[in-house]
Amino acid sequence: MTHPPITLIAYGSLMSGLGLAGLGHLPVTRAEPVRVRNVRRGFGKLSQYGDRYAMVLEPLRLREPIVADGASANADGLDALALTMSLSDFSRVAVREGYQAAAVFALMDRAIAAHAALPEHLWQMLVAADFDVARYRRSLFDAIGYTSPHYVPHPVEMAGARPALTFLAPGSEGSGSDSVVPVRVRTAMTDVLSLTAAWRLKPNDSQLDYFAMCLLAEVHNMSLRDVRDGLDDELHALLRTRLASELMLEPQRFRAALGLDADVYAAQFLSGASARSCLDK
């Protein structure tokens, strides 16, 4: 059975070409900005890739789904990026997020047995858990005997379309297995931090580089104002210096990473978009 493409909701470093660079070429059949609702976003998980806090996303109302829709459909919510890709490429993203590719394919096998695509199958599991994230993760673990302390796939309701998937970093609600302690719990960081608050804890080059990977999404008119508000003058200056050499490179790097034609990119990310600040670019 040929598995249908999967739409991934990216909300951190994967929203920029600089952040995507670690995956090499990630061909997509569609890329578009979206608004994600019933969530808060911030820095909150110690990264596997440096001495820094990586981005996390958490539901605001724990017994309701995370919902995504067109970027201009609602004024509320947070800007994110929807990327539609093959199952194989989705599994590559999963590995980057600390979730085993073998687990993705094991879940796919269960989806096929249930006559469903993977996102629909996970959505059905979330509905069966009454949108209780802890119960949903236990169901995932019970199904395949695996979970991750880093990030775990989670369904997202897409307005007028099939469900998408994103990756959430487990916190105090657990990973789905008592024996797999989430990194956020292990390091006593279960809060969701602004950029400024994360910098107070990790004022180093690795954290600054990661901030740049995330903030460059604003080159593509996807705002990260929810995490960057309240910068002091010193951090603002550091970020401007770090971003200065990246701004001109970013559009081409983003298009090349995703295999986007220039006209398609312009139509999806630039046409009709209001100007957004990448630290006063």
What single-letter amino acid sits at 9?
I
Query: What's the mean pLDDT in 15-40?
Result: 95
- State the pLDDT confidence band at 36, using cuts at 50, 70 and 90: very high
- 134 — phi, psi (to 5°)? -65, -45
| Residues contacting residue 107 through CB under 8 Å, at least 6 positions apart | 118, 121, 122, 140, 143, 144, 153
Global pTM reads 0.95
How many CB atoms sit inside 10 A of residue 96's CB? 19
- State the pLDDT confidence band at 16, using cuts at 50, 70 and 90: very high
48-63 pLDDT tens trace: 999 999 999 999 998 8
Mean pLDDT across the chain: 94
162-186 pLDDT tens trace: 999 999 999 999 999 999 999 999 9
Query: What's the mean pLDDT in 204-208?
Result: 97
Res. 74: pLDDT tops 60: no
pLDDT for the residue numbered 161: 84
- State the pLDDT confidence band at 276, using cuts at 50, 70 and 90: low
Percent of the chain residues past pLDDT 70, beyond the cut: 96
Which residue did the predictor score with more confidence, 274 or 213? Answer: 213
DSSP state of 49: S
- State the pLDDT confidence band at 274, using cuts at 50, 70 and 90: low
